[in-house]
Amino acid sequence: MTTSKGSLRTCPQGHTYYKSSDCPTCPTCEQERKPQDGLLSLLASPARRALEHHGITTLKQLSAFSEKEVLAFHGMGPSSMPKLRKALTAAGLAFRK
């Protein structure tokens, strides 16, 4: 059984990549912009983009939301929640009840 690589695309930065979905995100650009430290460095790209879309870049900002609200963000999955809980706890913070 062979699998399709998807369609060949080129991002505005000139990177070429194959994508089988409608997602316009270039994997090379995403890897280059991934933070090296801090809250957003703990997460996979879809979860990181979900938080960024909602203006959340710090643990203090994250603590203003409930777990249910964060899980409802498009791109945020249940596997990210333990990482977020652990980071909040280490900083003496928690999700809003």
Residues 42 and 23 occupy one common structural domain: no
The CATH number covering residue 74 comes to 1.10.150.20
User: Scanning the structure block, which residue is given the tokens 């990210």?
Assistant: 80
Please give the residue range of the domain that contains residue 17: 1-33
- The predicted model scores a pTM of 0.71
Read off the pLDDT of residues 24-82 as tens digits, 9 standing for 90 and up. Answer: 788 888 777 777 778 888 898 889 999 999 999 999 999 999 999 999 999 999 999 99
What is the count of structural domains for the chain?
Answer: 2
Percent of the chain past pLDDT 70, that is, above it, reads 96
Residue 47's CB is within 10 A of a number of other CB atoms, namely 21
Report how far apart, in Å, the C-alpha atoms of 15 and of each of 7, 29, 58, 95, 96 are: 14, 8, 30, 38, 41
Contact partners, residue 86, CB within 8 Å, separation at least 6: none
Read off the pLDDT of residues 67-87 as tens digits, 9 standing for 90 and up. Answer: 999 999 999 999 999 999 999
Q: Which two tokens stand for residue 47?
A: 């979860």
